[in-house]
């Protein structure tokens, strides 16, 4: 962030703008404003979202694979206890929501839960730390919470959607899957209504998955930004600086503690719906 005074609107826009870049005329160019990012079109990509999500995914794979390959004999370490607890939690969730047999579902559920949880957890980093560090490195914008970017949430939900489609066709056959879309719920005489209702139901799955996660995390990020703006506004009242600064700390701490529940719940909901959708894909309707 610049040391010059900025308005509240500029502060909000700065924190909500991704580091958007694209290849233009053989040169790698990054947008400085939202208008420039929009002008880059479809082939632009958000470098911060890609980088943070990749690093967090690598961290997850590194620690979980390390524990899995060399479990400590005797008394387990804290990391091993944590990994075992998470795996047991995921295993119980899969057993409770998935009635068929598929060895892909539990690893997929574990990956979805931990990856989204880690991306959500970045929202607990103080709101100005990463932008200040990015500014020192010469980067104008850098969003550290990947799940506040709809490109990330839609990317994950569409991936889950394609897996659901794959198993729907694999388990029921192309004819059985087509029959579900055309013959339910009103039978062969309600074909147009069936296609409309089942088509909407099918498309709503990835849309609801992505927008639910994005909406909740975006709203949480906005509240942190508004608390930071309140602190900056209060700083002008010199006689009560200490009290108002303390109030800002309490607000941030209170929302941060409550936000721990939100980031965990959103990862859990995304994982649970993924399991449920895959269970539905394995069920044959007669």
Q: What's the pLDDT tens digit per position in 134-144?
A: 888 888 788 89
272 lies in a domain?
yes
Please write the tens of the pLDDT for every residue from 48-94: 999 999 999 999 999 999 988 887 777 777 888 899 999 999 999 99
Report the C-alpha gap between 102 and 112 in whole angstroms: 16
* Closest C-alpha to 116, from 57, 68, 159, 63: 57
Q: Kindly give the interhelix angle for 8-16 and 191-234, rounded to the nearest 10 degrees.
A: 130
Catalytic residues: 208, 212, 216
Percent of the residues in the chain that have a pLDDT greater than 70, as a whole number: 91
Q: Which of 105, 113, 114, 154 is nearest to 281 (CA)?
A: 105
Give Cβ neighbours of residue 126 (< 8 Å, ≥ 6 apart). 252
**How far is 280 from 167, CA to CA, in rounded Å?**
10
**3 state DSSP class of 220:** helix
Residue 229 vs residues 3, 15, 41, 127, 226: alpha-carbon distances, Å: 15, 11, 32, 10, 5
- Among candidate residues 158, 161, 141, the one with its CA nearest the CA of residue 150: 158
What SS3 class is residue 218?
Answer: helix
Q: Considering the domain boundaries, does residue 1 fall inside one?
A: no
Report how far residue 122's alpha carbon sits from residue 256's, in angstroms, rounded to the nearest whole number: 11
Domain membership of residue 3 (yes or no) is no
* Cα(210)–Cα(161) distance, integer angstroms: 11
Query: Domain count of the chain?
Result: 1
Distance CA 200, CA 72 (A): 50
| β-sheet with 27-30: strand ranges across | 27-30, 20-24, 45-46
Least-confidence region, from 10-19, 218-227, 258-267, 269-278: 10-19
Instruction: Tell if the pTM clears 0.85, that is, is over it.
Output: yes
Secondary structure letter of residue 45 according to DSSP: E
How many helical (H) and strand (E) elements, i.e. helices and strands, does the chain have?
9, 3
Distances (CA, A) of 71 to 63, 66, 76: 12, 8, 8
Looking at residue 126, the DSSP 8-state letter turns out to be -
Residue 196 in domain: yes
Total number of residues shown for the chain? 286
Which pLDDT belongs to residue 140? 77
Beta bridge partners of 21: 30, 45
Residue 1: pLDDT band by 50, 70, 90 thresholds? very low
Asked if residue 171 belongs to a domain, the reply is yes
Kindly tell me if the per-residue pLDDT of 237 is higher than 50: no
Alpha-carbon separation of residue 245 from 4, 127, 224 (angstroms): 21, 16, 15
Residue at 106 is within a domain = yes
| Structural domain contains residue 77 | yes
Bond prior to 185 in cis (omega within 30° of 0): yes
CA distance 30 to 132: 18
Domain extent at residue 74: 8-282
């Amino acid at each position: 962030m610049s040391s010059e005074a900025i308005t509240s609107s500029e502060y909000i826009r700065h924190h909500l703008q991704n580091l958007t870049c694209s290849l233009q005329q053989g040169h790698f160019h990054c947008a400085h404003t939202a208008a420039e990012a929009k002008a880059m079109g479809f082939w632009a990509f958000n470098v911060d979202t890609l980088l943070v999500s990749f690093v967090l995914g690598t961290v997850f794979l590194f620690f979980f694979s390390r524990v899995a390959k060399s479990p400590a004999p005797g008394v387990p370490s804290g990391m091993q206890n944590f990994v075992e607890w998470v795996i047991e939690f995921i295993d119980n969730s899969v057993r409770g929501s998935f009635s068929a047999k598929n060895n892909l579902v539990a690893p997929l559920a574990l990956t979805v839960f931990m990856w989204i949880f880690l991306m959500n957890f970045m929202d607990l980093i103080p709101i100005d730390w990463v932008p200040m560090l990015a500014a020192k490195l010469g980067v104008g914008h850098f969003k550290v919470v990947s799940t506040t970017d709809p490109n990330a949430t839609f990317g994950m939900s569409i991936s889950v959607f394609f897996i659901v489609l794959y198993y729907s066709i694999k388990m029921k056959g192309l004819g059985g899957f087509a029959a579900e879309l055309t013959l339910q719920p009103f039978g062969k005489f309600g074909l147009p209504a069936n296609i409309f209702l089942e088509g909407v139901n099918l498309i709503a799955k990835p849309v609801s998955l992505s927008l639910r996660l994005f909406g909740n995390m975006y709203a949480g990020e906005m509240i942190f930004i508004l608390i930071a703006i309140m602190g900056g506004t209060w700083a002008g009242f010199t006689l009560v600086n200490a009290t108002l600064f303390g109030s800002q700390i309490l607000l941030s701490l209170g929302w941060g503690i409550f936000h721990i529940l939100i980031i965990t719940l959103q990862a859990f909901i995304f994982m649970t719906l993924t399991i449920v959708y895959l269970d539905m894909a394995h069920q044959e309707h007669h």
